[in-house]
Amino acid sequence: MTRPIYGVLLLLLLVACGPRQLEPDDASECDLCNDWNLPQEPFRIYGNTWYVGTAGLSSLLVEAGDGLLLIDGGLPQSAAVIDANIRKLGFDPLRISAIFVSHAHFDHAGGVAALQRLTGAVVYSSIAGATALSSGELQQDDPQFLDALQRGFPAIANVTAIGDRDVVTTAGVEITAVYTPGHTPGGMTWTWESCALGTCNKIVYADSLTAVSAEGYRFSAGPAADQLIESADTISLLDCDILLSPHPFFFGMHDKLERREEGNPFVNNVACFIFAETALGWLEQRLHSEGH
């Protein structure tokens, strides 16, 4: 008479222990959020590197032996898109062992907490970035701090802070951390090598270098302008065959996808130099608007 009861209990146990599912956090609201979060078909960029982000916010998947690495998580509502894109490519998100973050703003770190809960991955950032990511709040020295009071992001557990030029090695893939502050105090650029058909290219995921701030902030009155100049110089000198960045329009993703029949338009060994020069031009305009 007890066997049916045991059977029901076993069934309930199996359901409870079933595959982990993504549990997204509350969505962020902003003027551009809906456009940023429009779906994007995932695709291979080169070798072991895939684009799994949205139409307006980058997220990258890197194959590393038997595991996977993820870079950036978009908005809180982007996590579900990223999860679906990874599965659409035939990968299991539960194989993600590490998540790397470019900078601690709600539009790039917002989905990381949910993706970490799903995967159990370690999150990597700079020392300054780890403080913000762990709290879910920007620090007061961030140029966007006053705006960010209205737009925090879900706090992230188990954040590992690493130093400038430190290397994280996972299943044979070496990802190098490059400090590039200015847009945020803890801004990070990540680089790694990707090989296909006997040809290896150095990929640079360059952090944002835009002089964007809350109203009233002056780049000319603080360290951010000097940091942006130094970071632009750093990125321009990197070994760089493929440039990627947190917003797809910075590296012309949609235009490049339309030209894929001509070869791989993402391969361009002067792209990092152009990216840095463009950033310095934006900064010059900002400083001019401040009277400098």
Active site positions, annotated: 103, 105, 107-108, 183, 217, 247
Which residue carries 């910075």 as its tokens?
250
How far is Cα 287 from Cα 199, in angstroms, rounded to an integer?
42
Using CA of residue 127, residue 242, residue 272, residue 140, what is the dihedral sign? negative
Q: What's the CA dihedral at 144, 149, 152, 158 to 10 degrees?
A: 80
Q: What's the CA dihedral at 134, 155, 68, 54 to 10 degrees?
A: -130
How far is Cα 126 from Cα 269, in angstroms, rounded to an integer?
26
Query: What is the distance of C-alpha 65 from the center of its chain?
Result: 21
Element (H, E) at 86: helix 78-88
